[in-house]
Amino acid sequence: MLKIAALAVVAGLLVLALKKDQPAFAFVVSVCGAGAVLALAFQQITPLLELIHTLSDYTGAQTGQSFGCVLQVLGIALAAQTAADLCREAGMSAAAGAVELCGRLLAMMQALPLLQSLVASLSAFL
């Protein structure tokens, strides 16, 4: 966490220093800093994803598909939020809203098999 915090602080200071004279470079530094922070975060998440994959193997095929579906929805949500934040940082609030809407729609579409499985289980129970 200290590496991530230090990287974010350095990128923030660079953005503040460049924002007055070179706003385009400040935006590039901001995007690169955010990308580097995300790369470091994803490196830390790898053991958690391996644990989830192991747990899904133990629970069976149907539950494993559910874990996969939930992970895909989570990935869509994180990607959409990151893209929307970058759009807002660039001053494009309309594009940010469109990205968030598309992310929500794609997440709902990705979760449909999980919903169908839930409805099938409920109908079999009744």
Q: Where are the domains of the chain?
A: 1-59, 60-126
pTM over 0.85: no
> pLDDT digit string (tens) for 11-68?
888 888 888 888 888 888 888 888 888 888 878 888 877 887 777 677 665 555 677 7
Contact 106, 91 (CB under 8 A): no
Element (H, E) at 102: helix 93-125
Band the pLDDT of 104: cuts 50, 70, 90.
very high
